[in-house]
Amino acid sequence: MRKGFDRRVRSLGLTRPQWRVLVYVLENEGLSQSMLARAMDLERAPLGQLVRALENLRLVRRVRSSADQREWLIYGGEDSARHHAPTRRGGRLAAGRLFPGG
In eight-state DSSP terms, residue 70 is T
Task: Tell me, yes or no, if the pTM score tops 0.75.
Answer: no
pLDDT at site 13: 78
pLDDT in tens, the chain (102 residues): 456 555 566 667 788 899 889 989 999 999 999 999 999 999 999 999 999 999 999 999 999 999 999 999 999 998 887 765 555 555 555 444 544 555
20 Cβ contact partners less than 8 Å away, ≥ 6 residues apart = 40
pLDDT at residue 95 in the model:
46
Domains annotated on the chain, with CATH = 2-92 (1.10.10.10)
- Is 69 in a helix, a strand, or coil? coil
